[in-house]
Every structure is written in C-alpha cells, then in structure tokens.
Amino acid sequence: MSCPHKHVDEDAVATAVKTTPLVWRNLDERAQNEAFEKHMHREFAPGASEWHDPVSRRNFLKIMGASVALAGAAGCIKYPEEAIVPYVQPPNDLLPGRPMYYATAMPFDGHAWPMIATANEGRPTKVDGNPDHPASLGSSTAIGQASVLQLYDPERAQIVTYAGQATDWSTFQVEILKEMRNFKATDGRGLYFLMTPSSSPTLAKQIAEFQKAYPNAKWHVWEACANHGARQASIASFGRAVNTVYRFDQASRILSLDSNFCVDEQGSLIYARQFVNGRRLRRPDKKKPVVREVIESDWQNPTYVESGNATMNRMYMVETNYTPTGAMADHRLALPPSQIEDFARAVAAGLGVAGVTAPEAASMSEGAGGNRGTQFVQAVIDDLKQAGASALVIPGRNQPASVHALAHAINQQLGAAGKTVIYTDPVDINPVDHVESIRALATDMNAGHVDTLFIMDGNPAYDAPADLNFVELLDKVRLKIRSGLYYDETSMYCHWHLPASHFLESWSDARGYDGTVATIQPLILPLYQGKSAHELFALLSGDITSTGQELIRNSWKDVKDDDWETALCKGVGLGAAPATVDVTFNASALNNAKAQATAKDALEVSLPPDPAIWDGTWSTNGWLQELPRAITKLVWDNAALMSKATADRLGVDSESLLQLKYVDGAGREQSMTVAVWLVPGHANDCITLTLGYGRKNVKAIGGVEPMDNLGFNAYPLRKAGNLNYTIVTAIPAKGRYPLSSTQLHQNPEGLDLVRFYSGTEFASGNAEYPEQEGYVPGIENRQKDVRLSLYPEFDYAHGHRWGMVVDDNACVGCNACVMACQSENNGPIVGKDQVSRYREMHWIRIDSWHFGDESNPITVFEPVMCQMCEHAPCEEVCPVNATTHSAEGINEMTYNRCVGTRYCSNNCPYKVRRFNFLRYNDYYTPSLKMVRNPLVTVRERGVMEKCTYCIQRIDITRIDVKRAEVARDSALAQQTVDGRTNPEYNPDEAKRQQNVIHDLMMGLQTACQQSCPTEALVFGDMNYRRADQKPVRINELKNQPQSFGLLTEFNTQPRTSYMSRFRNPNPSLESKPLFYPIKTEEG
Amino acid sequence: MAQIFHPSMNTVAKGSILGAVITLGLIGFIIGGVVRSPYITQEDVPRAQPVPFSHEHHVGGLGLDCRYCHTGVEDSPFAGVPATKICMTCHSQIWTNASILEPVRESWRTNTPIRWNRVHQLPDFVHFNHSIHIAKGIGCSACHGQVDQMPLMWKNQSLEMSWCIGCHKNPEAQIRPRDQVFNMKYQQPSNQAELGAELVAKYNVNKRQLINCSVCHY
C-alpha cells in the first residue's frame, strides 16, 4: 500500500538514512529492511489482479464468453418458483421472521460460558454472552462465538459405527446392556471411564448413582489443556480441592506469573472486565477532575469512583511468549519457562514467605530482561508489599504446581487471600489431578486390568502425554467405546464410535467459573444421531426411555415448575456461586528444588494451547483457523515462536525451518521440523510452540488444504512429568515453510494512528498532548470543525445519527469481536493461500502497534473497522453508486449494485474494505447454509464488502422504535375524544411505549460490541436524548479529552473515534513515563 | 480501376448504419419490454395452489380480516402464511368432507406442511418489512391489490425496484389513515395530495431516510 497522502520518491527512500520508527507493526518495519521496503513500494497486494484459480486464463475467457451469452438468455427466464411451507402447528410464541433467543451455556474446560443463542425459524445462527449470568455479563469469547459453526460442521460424526462400519443405536444398546449385565456380577471390575472434566451437577449425580451400582468401576479424567498446575497445587497447598476465584475489581497491584488472564483463564470474561475497569479514566464533566469509571453489568449506566485522584491498577507480567495480557501490562519481563518459578520464588522470598529461599540473582539475568530482572523483582516486591491485601498474584494455566503453590503463598502472605483471591468449593465435579489420573489409567491398561474402556469426549490418542504411549496401551483393552463429536484419532483405535450431541442440541447444566449454575437447553433436535453424556449414562444404567430433558428436570426435581421456567428463561437461578471456604495454607507445598538447569546449547520449548483452536478440538473450525492470533497474526498454522536474538543465534529467520531434536515417550531420540516465526517481546533462548496442530485426517470447514499439511504437532514433545515445557536441541534445517500472517495487511498510512499516555499525568491535567490535525474531541466541537469540502455537508440534525467509539485503553486483543462479526455478517472463510494474498475477509481487524525496543515493546491493540467517514473517499469514486451515504451518517454498501471496480478500496485510507476475489462462500454444503444470518446477504464473487455498523440490527431496531412511537402517539391521542377529556384515558400505555423505545435504543448493540468483555467498543445514536437527561454514553465518551480520530488530517471526518491507551508505570522502573505521539520539530 | 460500388451504395451504407442503430434499439426496447412484461414478472397471472384457496370467498364473501390468517403482519417482517392449524379452526367444523380440502386435512393428520406456491417473491438482497408499512398507514391493497376479488392469488404489482422507489420518494400518494390499512375497499379521497402530506407529517415518515439504499439492501 503506498502512502496515500504523498508521493513516495523511491530513490529518496533508498538513499534516506534509515531510522528506526517509533511505532512499528512487525520486526521488518522496525528494522526498515528490504522485505519491508518491498512491501511498502507495492501498491497492490501480490497477485491482486491475477487469476489464481486452477482455471487458466484462456479457459476463463472461454467460460466468460459463454457466461455473457447465457446471461443474456437468462435475463429472459422467469423468476425461479419458490414454495412457502408454513407450520402445521406453530410453536408457541414463534413469529416467522422474528428470531427467538434462548439462554443456554457452552461447556468448556470443566466450566461453562453462559450464552444467549439466537434461533431463526429453529436454526441456531448466533451465540452471545448471557448478560444475566455473573460468569459472562453479556460478553463472550472467540471460541464461544465460533461454537455455532461447530454445530453445523459437516465433518461431525453422524452415525454409530462399530469397527468403522455403520450401525445404529439399537444394536449398540443390545450389546452394551449385555456387557453391563456381565459387569453387574463383578460390580464393574474392569470397567473404566476416561472423561473430560465437567461441571454438570446432573452428571455428578448420575455418576454417583452409577458408582453405587458398579462400585468397582473406575473413573479417570484427562483434558490436555486444563489448568493442571492449579489442581495439583490446590490439593498440595490446602489439602483439598478448591476453586480459586480472582477479584480483579479489588486489586490495585497485579502480578501475573505467565497468566494470560484477559483471554484464557476460566474466568477471563470477568477478569478482563474487572481488570480494565480498574484502568478506565474518565472526566464525567468538563469541570470535574478525572476519576475512575466502573462498568458493572449495565454498560449504559457506569458508575464513577470519586477517589479524589484517579487511581489505576498496575499490572506486572512475567511470561515467555508475548500474550495479549502481556501487552496490557505496565511492566513486562520475558523469561524462559524454567525461570518463571525462580522469579516467583524471588518475589516470595522478598516478601518474607516462610520456607522460601531466593534463587541466585544470576538465574534471572539471562532471558530477555537482561539485568533488568533483578531490578524488576525488587520493584515488584516493593509494590506488592505496599499494596498489601489489595495485591493479587495470579499464576498461569501453563505453569507447574510449584508456581501455583508459590502464588498461593504470596497471596496468603500479603493478606490478599479472602480479598482479591477467594477460594470456593470446586466447580469441577471430579477435581482430581489429570496427570495422576491418566497415568493411573495407563498403569492399569498396561497391567491388563482394563477390560472395557469408555472414552467420553477428549482425544487422548492425539493429546495424552507422549511418555504414556497411550495408543499402544489401547491394544491391551478388550472393548473400547468412544463417544465424541468427531470420528477422530482416538475413534480410529476404538471399536464403537458413538456420536455425541452438540451443546446447542442437548439438555444439560453446568457451572460458570465462579460456580453459579447455568442451564443448558437445546435450540434444535440433534442434527445427526448424537446423544448427550446424560443420555448415554442413562442408557448404561438401563434407562432407555428417559429423554435428556427428563433427566435434567428430574435431577432438579426439588425446584418448583415456575422457578424452573424462570431458570430456563434466564439461564441462571438454579444455584448461586458457592460460599467461600476457609483454607489453611500448608507450607510443605512449597518445594525449593531447583528446576534442572537447561544446558547451554539446549532450548526450552513452551507448550501452551493455541489461542484459537485450543488443544486441537477446534481444528476443523474454519472461522477459528482463520482468526489472526494476537501479536503474531498467524492464521491456519502454528509455528516455533521466538525472539529475534534467539533466531539470530540459531541462524534462522521467519518462515525458515528448524529441526528440533527431542527424546520421545519411549526414550528414543527423535526429531521434528518446525517453521520459525519471530515475535517481538518473546523471551530469549526458548521457543513457544502452541498445541493443537498437526492433526491427521482432519479437514477444516472452508479449508482448501487438508489439515495434515498445516502446522506442527507439538504433543510428541509433551510429557507427563512436565506438561509446561520440554527441552530440545535445535539446528537450522533446509527449506522454507510459508506462513500466512496478516500483521502487515491492510495497513493505513498516516500520522499517529495510535496514542498512549501515562494515566497519572493525564489525571493530573499536566500532560500536554500534541494536537491532532482535523480533530477536536467532543461532538459539539466537531460540527464547528467542519472544513472545506467540495461536497455539500449532510444534515444530521433530525433522525438517528449513529456513531461508534473504540477504546484502545480497554481492548485486550482477545479477538471475540472478529469472530462475532464473522458470525453475524456471514463472513466467508478464504483459506491460508488466499490470506497470504492479502485477501482475508474480516470486516474488523485488530491492529497491534508496537513501540520501542523489540525485546520489550509497549503494544497497543486497536480494532479497526469501517470508520463511516462523513467525507467518505470511497463514496466519491464509485462509478455505480454502490456505496452511498445515508441520512443517518452510515456509509452504505449495496452489494447488488457493486460491479467490482475496487476503486473504493483503493481510495480508502483505512483499508477496511474487503473484496470477494473468488466465490468464497460455500454455496453447496447443506449444513453450512443453516449457520447463516438470514438478515445479511451472502456475497458473491466480484463484490466489495465492509463493516456496516451491523445495519441489519439498526434497521430492525429503527423499525421497532418507529412502531413503538406510533403506538405511543396513538395512546396519547386517546387523551381527548371530540375535544373533551377522555375519562377512560390510561396514561400508562404511552409511558410503557416510551420505555419500550428507551430499551430498544439502549439495547441496540453491534455484534462486536456485544461480544466485547471490556466494553472497548461502544455504539449508539448520538442524537438520542434520554428522558433522564443523562448523556448518551457514546456522546459522553466522544467528549473525553483522550478521544482522537484516525487519519483525520485527510478531512475524512470519521464517525468512529478512538480513545487513547493509558499506562501506569512504576516510577522506580520508568522514571519518566513514556508516551506517544511525541512532539517532534517537524510536527 | 472500375468502381466496385455504385454511388447509390452511399445511401445504402448510411441507411444500414441507421437501420442497425434502429434495430439494436428496437431489440433493446423489446427485451426491456419483455423483462418488464407480466410474462416475466408474473404480474396479474394467477398462480395455481395445492388447495384452491379463494381470497374472494374468505375476504370478500365472508369478511375475514387479513390478520386472522396473516398473523405476523403487524409485528414481523413477514406477514406469515397461515399454519394448517389456522385452516382447521374452521374446517374441522365446516366443509369437513369437501374433497378440495383433503390436502389440508391430510396435512393435519400426517403433520406434514402444505407446500404453497409463492406468489410474491423478492430477491434475497431485498429486505422488505411488512410491520413498518402497516404501522405507517400503507394499506394492504396498495401493494397486493383488491385481494377480496381474487379467486386465486396473483401479483398485483411487478415488485420491481422502480415501483418501490416510486412510493418511497412520494409516500403521500399511497398513505392512508391507519384505521383504513386493512380495508380492502378503501378508495383514495379526491384530496389525497393534501391528506397524504398531512398523514406523512402526522405519522412522522422520514422521507430523507426512505430513499437510502440501506433501508432495504444489506
């Protein structure tokens, strides 16, 4: 993309002295190297105007010639004849054309995300967070958003199979009941179950009953990416299983020990919200000082913490890979996985935790921090000590039990336990240590004790620890029965495969991260022959008649019918969060054993779950595969992530191959080849390789390539003794592996696209911000600021005036908005090859801008979607009026007018328009037709598209508001009849309709906004006047002094505005707070 | 060298150029005409149905209100085609043995929907909403015609975009008092222009917004 505002003289660029830019997007840009220059000099993406179908150009012309001729003929053909098929007996409350909403929840990782699912004429098409449930408060995660695609995945197991051959449930039923009768004689000896963790109270009851009937049956649990360290440490530290809940709303100083708590902890939706709440600085009134704003659940009605001076929390992060939470940290130290425990121990010792000795200072001086390590530890100790009970230490899910125990000890020592950290009964129905559990199972399998093995969900043949040799042990089991959504690696080794039902097809119950019960109800009958775990257990117990609904209802039979209905309607109400439990910390949980030092030429490989496809369960989900991962922006692949220093030492670069030599489960030397990707801020002398890739015989939805060729399987590296990381030796290998990363795609070019300041300076009012050309905060001022334009100004004084605010200070880069947008707006999947040609189709992208040193950058996430310019450059160049301006200020995109010239995209300085170079939408797979939102056109090849502010939601709300206005006005008209006061006039009706209007206006959210856990995106009508005279939230935010616009120097007058990021650096580590943009002499 | 073409060929050449233009124009005109003709748009062409349901009998004869069967018309984008259950509210009591109603009874017995042939069909990129038109005083007959006189249903209008836009640009021509929306026999008064302007103001019709693309296309 060339610089849109000035001509780039190539010679001048070549001869200019290369200076390191202050903000940069990737390491090439920072180094201003050839690759980056080449990228910048190219006006269009590589291959932007070439034909990349297998069809040759010659064939294309032939086909096109024929198409033109046929199109002429087709114009004379009558409209296709369609049928209308109404119901025989319409379901209650259903009005065709109006979606229905149901409260449900998605079980994940032993807890549940409460959801509201949308059904259009019986098809679930969208899921969102449940605002009534304390574990969601309306927000959702990227994986949660993509779960609706999984329901319609054509790769799902559809029938019961025995030894790979199709059979049916009744055959299985006969067989299994025969087996169960035999087991009855031995009380279930030799009957083993391997399950994934669950939080379902009903399942707990069913298992307890089953155990009563078959006392010798054994229960094992394994989930590859569960929080193993927390489970182990809880038993060791407190002598019992507890659930640790963190209260970020009570915390002023936070230390994260490799915890990506804004994104991948069980309570992340709430943790991210509470953490960001502690950092929102607002000036509620122009005359008042800056205070902190807190949004509990109703985002339209925030409260303000008048604390005299604005207090922000401060977060320290110690981690290996650069995670989104790390980017939110005020100070960050990158350490190899083995040294994070050293760091935790140094902090514990510094705070005076009994029984902990500080490691030698030298052990943290390696790593990316250099000798920053020691200084960093001291600053953290001092700050935590000062904060006392309002400090919070959270260990990561990828950390060993020892780090979790140290975190417990530090929280106890600081007095934080009970305040910022609370302990409750476990959410998990079987809170055992998974590693011990699967190891015990492996021992029994090896000893031949296992006669029949039920594997319910999970995929142990793929993801069990490598040293257990699980696949070989399966041979020693007489009968293997598998229940799961997919016929996967594990199913191939099992006799029976039983299709499981998706959560949107089944009745169940579950608990949120805090223990509050959520109900799970189906929106659709099972598409295939799936059965839920409850139905399967009922079948094993000989109950072949009860439906899933009856099983769940009977398990809650104490609940009255009315309460049950309410609980189903709200998704919450069956059980509140469990009370906190008193625990005493057992210091013997702390061991001072030093982790084995890694040899000089060896590298540690950290093995976290993939941010999108998690442990591999979501491999087939094309939406998640194509989701640009935070920071790396990689899609469709994992890679060996490492720092530039490490790559230089090894002699490799991004996309080159690296051979990793490791010891496999059987103790043999093995090697695997992985592609390298350089990441700023990664710890030195170690690699991060995410789990979940390299699966066999898996095809992702929308994926052109078979998955076998995508990514690298990291599970062979993972052993039961240390799931966290493994040690390898690495040598460069020949060849290259192309990776697709969107980091430099669709970039805007201009001044100061991102801003960050010190929060304290902002609050004190002493900070001087460079003024932005073409932008004045505050909507009243904006109108005064309208500058010369060739086109007439629009008049927005009447009707709606939609606008948006994006708060960079709140965006944690979790990607939920990207998924929500794709789900809401029928976004297609384009595949890895098309992404490498800059053709990804996401309407919203999260730009990550780095500032400063490549080993320890400051990073700001900035979601960018169509800015709805009031002087829109795209509108002026469209030759067919396919993109126009609406009376409400929306830049409309009319697909059926678009002829695909792409002028608009070329003229868009924000690069937010997406073009359908090929027919990306799958028109043929029947099940995938069902996932589409019927209110949004499915775009054809050759059509431009972009963010519409979710115009379909706006339209339906506008219509409903108008209908309510009509009803209100006709109610008011009843006041008089024939000029006399009407005695039967009821003033409540008009008031009720006015409330309907208010609720509709306040409830209107775009899909991205609805999913956001931190309210980083706020949408609304800038002309709406509330009855209570409070300012509409969007206007309040636009009036904030930290408000700014993107590329306003071009006089585009974007309707979307941004708010700058605030940092809260510790003066002892950063005496002069850094900020950006910096005033330079050139301006 | 002798002349190949006789001088009169000049006239023929000019004539044929003109002729070609006229012919092409004519072809274009004919294609345009055919595309807009009822042959293509199916305007005024009655559509056969599995059950020969007569609006003439039910609406014109018996005086049933539109909303008795089209239940969604006030609240939903779709007016809604009645479920078999609605047919059976009456026809389980009257005409219980009529042979033409056998498909209805069969649908009820076997719980299989009746497949009606669609009469009014818009392309998928057009999002028409019944409820707002009803709320703002656009009568059923404004688009659907005198349904009370249609033994079998047909399209009264072409449903082309130019026809939609005609009213969206000038809603005064079609708007009527809200209490007359479902009146099939409604006749526009002689002062429609004044009444229309008055009603447009009274019902708060935002004319600037009515002609935005995104009102129908998204």
A164-210 confidence digits (pLDDT tens): 899 999 999 999 999 999 999 999 899 999 999 999 999 999 999 99
Is B118 in contact with A75 (Cβ distance < 8 A)? no
Is A86 in contact with B84 (Cβ distance < 8 A)? yes
CA atoms within 13 A of residue B66's CA, in its CB half-sphere: 20
Burial class (CB in 10 A: 0-12, 13-18, 19+), A940: middle
Tell whether A378 lies on the interface with B, counting CB pairs under 8 A: no
Burial class (CB in 10 A: 0-12, 13-18, 19+), B1: exposed
What distance in Å separates residue B8's CA from the closest CA in chain A? 37
B91 membership: H or E segment, kind and range: helix B84-91
pLDDT of residue A15: 45
Of A99, A89, A96, A153, residue with least CA distance to A124: A99
- State the Cα torsion A666-A671-A672-A674 to the nearest 10°: 130
Of A346, A368, A372, residue with least CA distance to A357: A346
Q: What is the pLDDT of residues A560-592, one digit of tens each?
A: 999 999 999 999 988 777 888 888 888 777 776
- B135 CB neighbours in chain A (<8 A) are 962-963, 966
- Residue A84, classed as helix, strand or coil, is strand
| Alpha-carbon torsion (A376, A381, A382, A383), positive or negative | positive
Top residue of B34, B214, B217 to mutate, by most chain A CBs within 10 Å, is: B214
Which residue does chain A place closest to B34, by CA atoms?
Answer: A76
- Phi and psi at A391, nearest 5°, equal -90, 160
pLDDT of residue A1008: 95
A755 CB-near residues (< 8 Å, 6+ apart): A769, A808, A860, A1042, A1044, A1058, A1060, A1061, A1076, A1077
Burial class (CB in 10 A: 0-12, 13-18, 19+), A78: exposed
- A799 CB neighbours in chain B (<8 A) are 206, 208-209
- The DSSP symbol for A405 reads H
Is B72 in contact with A97 (Cβ distance < 8 A)? yes
- B85 CB neighbours in chain A (<8 A) are 87-90
Is A88 in contact with B132 (Cβ distance < 8 A)? no
Terminal CA-CA length for chain A: 24
Looking at the predicted structure, is the pLDDT value of residue A287 above 90? no
What distance in Å separates residue A328's CA from the closest CA in chain B? 36
Structural contact between residues A261 and A276, judged by C-beta atoms closer than 8 angstroms: no
Cα–Cα distance for residue pair A318/A1022, rounded to 1 Å:
42
Burial class (CB in 10 A: 0-12, 13-18, 19+), A1047: buried
More confidently predicted of A124 and A694: A124
Looking at the predicted structure, is the pLDDT value of residue A49 above 80? no
Q: What is the pLDDT of residues A658-678, one digit of tens each?
A: 999 998 877 788 899 999 999
pLDDT of residue A1082: 45
pLDDT of residue A986: 84
> If you count them, how many residues does chain B have?
218
What distance in Å separates residue B172's CA from the closest CA in chain A? 18
Of the candidate ranges A234-243, A283-292, A802-811, B164-173, the one whose mean pLDDT is the lowest: A283-292
Cα–Cα distance for residue pair A321/A334, rounded to 1 Å:
7
Of the candidate ranges A23-37, A550-564, A983-997, the one whose mean pLDDT is the lowest: A23-37
Q: What is the mean pLDDT of chain A?
A: 87
Structural contact between residues A563 and A575, judged by C-beta atoms closer than 8 angstroms: no
Is B206 in contact with A887 (Cβ distance < 8 A)? yes
Cα–Cα distance for residue pair A335/A686, rounded to 1 Å:
9
Q: What is the pLDDT of residues A824-854, one digit of tens each?
A: 999 999 988 888 888 999 999 999 999 988 8
Cα angle at B207 between B205 and B210, to 5 degrees? 95
Nearest to B121 among A79, A799, A963 (CB): A79
Structural contact between residues A677 and A646, judged by C-beta atoms closer than 8 angstroms: no
Q: Which residues of A386-419 are buried (b: 16+ CB within 10 A; e: fewer)?
A: ebebbbbbbbbbbbbbbbbbbbbbbbbbbebbeb
Is B125 in contact with A896 (Cβ distance < 8 A)? yes
Looking at the predicted structure, is the pLDDT value of residue A214 above 90? yes
Is B116 in contact with A887 (Cβ distance < 8 A)? no
pLDDT > 70: what percent of chain A?
89
Is B125 in contact with A895 (Cβ distance < 8 A)? yes
A1047 CB-near residues (< 8 Å, 6+ apart): A748, A750, A751, A753, A909, A910, A1054
Structural contact between residues A476 and A683, judged by C-beta atoms closer than 8 angstroms: no
- B42 CB neighbours in chain A (<8 A) are 78-79
When pLDDT is averaged across residues A484-499 and rounded to a whole number, the result is 93
DSSP E strands: which ranges in A477-591? 479-484, 496-499, 508-511, 517-520
Looking at the predicted structure, is the pLDDT value of residue A13 above 50? no
Cα–Cα distance for residue pair A761/A763, rounded to 1 Å:
5
Q: What is the pLDDT of residues A764-819, one digit of tens each?
A: 776 666 667 667 666 555 554 556 677 777 888 888 999 999 999 999 999 999 99
| Alpha-carbon torsion (A715, A721, A726, A728), positive or negative | negative
Which residue does chain A place closest to B125, by CA atoms?
Answer: A937
Give the A window 960-979 contacts with B, CB below 8 Å. Answer: 962-963, 965-966, 969-970
Which residue does chain A place closest to B69, by CA atoms?
Answer: A86
Cα–Cα distance for residue pair A807/A1013, rounded to 1 Å:
12
Is B206 in contact with A959 (Cβ distance < 8 A)? no
- State the Cα torsion A44-A49-A50-A56 to the nearest 10°: 170
Burial class (CB in 10 A: 0-12, 13-18, 19+), B65: exposed
Q: What is the pLDDT of residues A295-335, one digit of tens each?
A: 877 777 888 877 655 688 999 999 999 999 999 999 999 99
State yes or no: cis peptide before A526, omega within 30 of 0: no
Is A966 in contact with B131 (Cβ distance < 8 A)? no
Top residue of A955, A956, A960, A974 to mutate, by most chain B CBs within 10 Å, is: A955
> Residue A442: pLDDT band by 50, 70, 90 thresholds?
very high
Looking at the predicted structure, is the pLDDT value of residue A932 above 80? yes
- B41 CB neighbours in chain A (<8 A) are 79
Give residue A110's identity as a one-letter amino acid code: G
Is B214 in contact with A951 (Cβ distance < 8 A)? yes
Q: What is the pLDDT of residues A376-426, one digit of tens each?
A: 899 999 999 999 899 999 999 999 999 999 999 999 999 998 899 999 999
- Residue A549, classed as helix, strand or coil, is helix
Is B217 in contact with A894 (Cβ distance < 8 A)? yes
pLDDT in tens, chain B (218 residues): 678 888 888 999 999 999 999 999 999 999 888 888 888 888 888 889 999 999 999 999 999 999 999 999 999 999 989 999 999 999 999 998 889 999 999 999 999 999 999 999 888 899 999 999 999 999 999 999 999 999 999 999 988 899 999 999 999 999 999 999 999 999 999 999 999 999 999 998 999 889 999 999 98
Give the A window 512-541 contacts with B, CB below 8 Å. Answer: none
- Residue A827, classed as helix, strand or coil, is coil
Question: Structure tokens of A1071?
Answer: 């005496």
Is A895 in contact with B217 (Cβ distance < 8 A)? yes
For chain B, the maximum distance between any two Cα atoms, rounded to a whole number of angstroms, is: 97
- B123 CB neighbours in chain A (<8 A) are 896
- A78 CB neighbours in chain B (<8 A) are 39-40, 42
What distance in Å separates residue B32's CA from the closest CA in chain A? 10
Is A896 in contact with B39 (Cβ distance < 8 A)? no
Give the sheet arrangement for strand A23-24, strand by strand: A23-24, A845-851, A858-864
Beta bridge mates, A293: A304
Top residue of A940, A959, A970 to mutate, by most chain B CBs within 10 Å, is: A959
> If you count them, how many residues does chain A have?
1083
- State the Cα torsion A451-A457-A461-A464 to the nearest 10°: -100
Q: Return the percent helix, strand and coil in chain B, to nearest 5.
A: 50, 0, 45
Cα–Cα distance for residue pair A631/A636, rounded to 1 Å:
15
- The DSSP symbol for A1032 reads P
Q: What is the pLDDT of residues A1026-1055, one digit of tens each?
A: 888 888 889 889 888 888 888 888 888 889
Structural contact between residues A842 and A635, judged by C-beta atoms closer than 8 angstroms: no
Of A1027, A1020, A1034, residue with least CA distance to A778: A1034
CB pairs under 8 A between A and B: 145
Is B136 in contact with A98 (Cβ distance < 8 A)? no
What distance in Å separates residue B145's CA from the closest CA in chain A? 20
Location of structure tokens 């009994």 = A354
pLDDT of residue B36: 83
- A798 CB neighbours in chain B (<8 A) are 206
- The DSSP symbol for A117 reads E
pLDDT of residue A592: 60
Q: What is the pLDDT of residues A884-894, one digit of tens each?
A: 999 998 999 99
Is B82 in contact with A86 (Cβ distance < 8 A)? yes
What distance in Å separates residue B133's CA from the closest CA in chain A? 10
More confidently predicted of A274 and A761: A274
What distance in Å separates residue A546's CA from the closest CA in chain B? 24
Which residue does chain B place closest to A953, by CA atoms?
Answer: B218
Which residue does chain A place closest to B208, by CA atoms?
Answer: A887
- B37 CB neighbours in chain A (<8 A) are none
- A894 CB neighbours in chain B (<8 A) are 213-214, 217
Cα–Cα distance for residue pair A379/A394, rounded to 1 Å:
17
- B113 CB neighbours in chain A (<8 A) are 85-88
Question: Structure tokens of A689?
Answer: 């390789």
Give the A window 62-81 contacts with B, CB below 8 Å. Answer: 75-76, 78-79, 81
A648 CB-near residues (< 8 Å, 6+ apart): none
A658 CB-near residues (< 8 Å, 6+ apart): A640, A650, A652, A673, A674, A675, A676, A730, A731, A732, A733
- The DSSP symbol for A5 reads S
Q: What is the pLDDT of residues A85-96, one digit of tens each?
A: 999 998 888 888
pLDDT of residue A471: 92
> Residue A1081: pLDDT band by 50, 70, 90 thresholds?
very low
Looking at the predicted structure, is the pLDDT value of residue A10 above 60? no
Give the A window 891-910 contacts with B, CB below 8 Å. Answer: 892, 894-897
Q: Are strands A602-606 and A686-688 parallel, antiparallel or unpaired?
A: parallel
ipTM of the predicted structure?
Answer: 0.90
Is B40 in contact with A76 (Cβ distance < 8 A)? yes
Which residue does chain A place closest to B113, by CA atoms?
Answer: A88
